[in-house]
A and B are shown apart, each in its own frame.
Chain A
């Protein structure tokens, strides 16, 4: 009896394993084409342009919003701000665009780039961070900071012991600012490969938002005023040379904000359809004249262009065919009633993600597999009564159950 039971346990394990393995093999064999294209905005023409890289010819193709092909030179001239490097090198950069005087000197200090990948929103962390001196030379500190359950501690790497004096100094400042332990979110740039240090942005257990720094060896903690009920989901600190921006902040409601360094004000951007669970990457490209924000999902791309005051200038949207509507996607749904994934785009953990039984297209394949299994049972002259559970498993789990029950034969001796 136990031997029979062990077979069903093995079949169950095989169904779980195969529901991850077979769909992965399918997706590897039938990859969907990916378009390597970038969207550019022309301040000159208030129009979007596309640049597409062709791997076969190792060259880029350009086209305007009407789909007309452009030469590289025409493209550079049409989008002067985003191709400033090429135009300045050739001495062809315009003095003004649409009446706006262009100051090339401002380009570098007023330009910024942030790539926010959804998988970083939830990632395993040691909850330890290096706190560099924002007013001193850019060097990696000898200690790491821990914001524990009731105090701030600095652990010296050389000795693996807490620096009590420094820790007390910081804890006092945190207590004065009524910081509610423990820390919930830590966001900073833990490397010396950056133009300057701007400390860490943290949230406490009550979702209050703070900026923490060390300046000339002394603690700095500033509580950032936020709207009522505001919760921070993610912070991407900025390294803009002019230091006009502290960070790009994403709220729990998936709204995007720019945290100004002038007065710590949160400027909400007029973007209301960003969802990190669908859009796995968000890109912010800022120059002195406009900010281009783009995000994409498997089949869609959206670009927002905002002016210097973060007011909407123009938008671009491109929607392709969703995977479920492609031939490979339809075949996938028909072949596999469900599948098991171990990763998702919006976190870096390994998790069991069960997806399936969303439509009924798998019924045909499952029925066929049940019939094939009945044929096998008849051919092997097995008793039908002994294989009812196998047939039910094939009917419910399709190809996974079919492979599993035949991998562990239900043989009668």
Chain B
């Protein structure tokens, strides 16, 4: 039964996953082509000066991509469920509905974490060819809140999509917007190094939020 369910989830998210990976990879390719181009046409030390002293983030193009991926995966996974109220079928399976809901989220989360792992490796590791490890380490630190925003967006997208009442959909969107905004408060590289752990704590609070919406949906909230 679980295999079938995971297969059902994979069918829903596969296109979005491939698209996300493609967009992320193209953006990273663009970032490093730009770095290479700048190294060739100007001087490497000027580019380093921009990063180290003028605080430029050379991969800023990537900033909102994890957020977009989180929302896309969330929508692709949960929109088909609310279309024609298909989630009712899932909830009528001979499974505990809480477990079914959590398995759905676990699948989406695994997908998202796989995508994020690939993209963060693609973004950070080539940097070592061009920059000292200090730059690479702080760059890795800089992208953590961006990926965290993507994770938070995925869970909130699930909550909003399954929520049956439009009034609450709007409220949760506003709250979600306020929450996501907290991950983009500072443009300084490494500014979140003391904050990302508590932020992950808040994300874990919303991680099973879909159960709340599923419960309301099943109880026929209109």
Contact with A along B144-169 (1 / 0, CB 8 A): 01000000000000010000000010
Is residue B190 contacting chain A, with contact meaning CB distance below 8 A?
yes
What residue of chain A has the Cβ atom nearest to residue B221's Cβ?
A: A411
List of B residues within 8 angstroms of A195 by Cβ: none
List of B residues within 8 angstroms of A348 by Cβ: 186, 188, 191
List of B residues within 8 angstroms of A194 by Cβ: none
B191 to chain A, nearest CB (A): 5
List of A residues within 8 angstroms of B178 by Cβ: 17-18, 20-21
Is residue B103 contacting chain A, with contact meaning CB distance below 8 A?
no
Is residue A269 contacting chain B, with contact meaning CB distance below 8 A?
no
Inter-chain contact B202/A6, CB cutoff 8 Å: no
Question: Which of B132, B135, B178, B185 gathers most chain A CB within 10 Å?
Answer: B132
Inter-chain contact B212/A140, CB cutoff 8 Å: no
List of B residues within 8 angstroms of A143 by Cβ: 45
Is residue A187 contacting chain B, with contact meaning CB distance below 8 A?
no
Inter-chain contact B212/A350, CB cutoff 8 Å: no
**Contacts A126-B52, A126-B134, A140-B45 given: A3-B212 contact, CB under 8 Å?**
yes
Is residue A342 contacting chain B, with contact meaning CB distance below 8 A?
yes
Instruction: Tell me which residues from 179 to 221 in chain B have a Cβ below 8 Å from any Cβ of chain A.
Output: 179, 182, 185-186, 188-195, 198, 202, 205-206, 208-212, 214-216, 219, 221
What residue of chain A has the Cβ atom nearest to residue B190's Cβ?
A: A124
Inter-chain contact A411/B216, CB cutoff 8 Å: yes
What residue of chain B has the Cβ atom nearest to residue A143's Cβ?
A: B45
Interface stretch, picked from A108-116, A127-135, A167-175, is: A127-135
Instruction: Tell me which residues from 135 to 163 in chain A have a Cβ below 8 Å from any Cβ of chain B.
Output: 140-144, 146, 155, 157-158, 160
List of B residues within 8 angstroms of A343 by Cβ: 185-186
Inter-chain contact B45/A146, CB cutoff 8 Å: no
The CA-CA distance from A18 to B179 in the complex, in Å, is 9
Is residue A190 contacting chain B, with contact meaning CB distance below 8 A?
yes
List of B residues within 8 angstroms of A142 by Cβ: 43, 45
Inter-chain contact B195/A350, CB cutoff 8 Å: yes
Instruction: Tell me which residues from 109 to 134 in chain B have a Cβ below 8 Å from any Cβ of chain A.
Output: 129-132, 134
Interface stretch, picked from A8-16, A44-52, A87-95, A328-336, is: A8-16
Is residue B47 contacting chain A, with contact meaning CB distance below 8 A?
yes
**Contacts A6-B208, A6-B212 given: A157-B195 contact, CB under 8 Å?**
no
Inter-chain contact A10/B206, CB cutoff 8 Å: yes
List of A residues within 8 angstroms of B202 by Cβ: 13, 16-17
Inter-chain contact B46/A144, CB cutoff 8 Å: no
Inter-chain contact A126/B206, CB cutoff 8 Å: no
Inter-chain contact A124/B211, CB cutoff 8 Å: no
The CA-CA distance from A129 to B214 in the complex, in Å, is 54
Name the contact of A408 in the complex, choosing from B179, B198, B212, B221 (C-beta under 8 A).
B212
Is residue A272 contacting chain B, with contact meaning CB distance below 8 A?
no
Is residue A100 contacting chain B, with contact meaning CB distance below 8 A?
no
A348 to chain B, nearest CB (A): 6
The CA-CA distance from A18 to B98 in the complex, in Å, is 28
Is residue B171 contacting chain A, with contact meaning CB distance below 8 A?
yes
What residue of chain A has the Cβ atom nearest to residue B51's Cβ?
A: A126
Inter-chain contact B47/A157, CB cutoff 8 Å: yes
Inter-chain contact A342/B195, CB cutoff 8 Å: yes
Total interface residues in chain A, CB < 8 Å? 46
**Contacts A349-B194, A350-B192 given: A157-B44 contact, CB under 8 Å?**
yes
**Contacts A10-B205, A349-B194 given: A3-B211 contact, CB under 8 Å?**
yes
B29 to chain A, nearest CB (A): 20
Is residue A407 contacting chain B, with contact meaning CB distance below 8 A?
yes
Name the contact of A124 in the complex, choosing from B44, B48, B138, B210 (C-beta under 8 A).
B138
The CA-CA distance from A65 to B110 in the complex, in Å, is 68
**Contacts A124-B189, A146-B134, A342-B185 given: A157-B211 contact, CB under 8 Å?**
no
Name the contact of B98 in the complex, choosing from A2, A9, A144, A351 (C-beta under 8 A).
A2
List of A residues within 8 angstroms of B172 by Cβ: 407
The CA-CA distance from A14 to B175 in the complex, in Å, is 7
What residue of chain B has the Cβ atom nearest to residue A141's Cβ?
A: B45
The CA-CA distance from A155 to B132 in the complex, in Å, is 8
List of A residues within 8 angstroms of B219 by Cβ: 411, 413
Is residue A225 contacting chain B, with contact meaning CB distance below 8 A?
no
List of A residues within 8 angstroms of B210 by Cβ: 6
Inter-chain contact A190/B190, CB cutoff 8 Å: no
What residue of chain A has the Cβ atom nearest to residue B141's Cβ?
A: A124
What residue of chain B has the Cβ atom nearest to residue A123's Cβ?
A: B188
Inter-chain contact B49/A10, CB cutoff 8 Å: no
Contact with B along A277-311 (1 / 0, CB 8 A): 00000000000000000000000000000000000
Inter-chain contact B195/A351, CB cutoff 8 Å: yes
List of A residues within 8 angstroms of B205 by Cβ: 9-10, 12-13, 16
The CA-CA distance from A155 to B186 in the complex, in Å, is 29
The CA-CA distance from A130 to B214 in the complex, in Å, is 57
Name A's B-contacting residues (CB within 8 A).
2-3, 5-7, 9-10, 12-14, 16-18, 20-21, 123-130, 140-144, 146, 155, 157-158, 160, 190-191, 342-343, 348-352, 407-408, 411, 413
Name B's A-contacting residues (CB within 8 A).
43-49, 51-53, 98, 102, 129-132, 134-135, 138, 141, 145, 159, 168, 171-172, 175, 178-179, 182, 185-186, 188-195, 198, 202, 205-206, 208-212, 214-216, 219, 221
Q: Enumerate 17 A-B pairs (CB-CB under 8 Å) in ascending A order.
A: A2-B208, A6-B208, A6-B209, A9-B208, A17-B182, A123-B188, A124-B189, A126-B134, A128-B134, A142-B45, A146-B132, A146-B134, A160-B129, A190-B52, A190-B53, A350-B194, A351-B195
Beyond A6-B215, A9-B208, A130-B53, 12 additional contacts (C-beta under 8 Å) are A2-B102, A2-B208, A6-B208, A13-B205, A20-B178, A126-B132, A128-B52, A141-B45, A144-B45, A350-B191, A351-B195, A407-B175
Closest 8 CB pairs of A and B: A124-B190, A157-B45, A157-B44, A13-B205, A3-B215, A190-B53, A6-B211, A413-B219
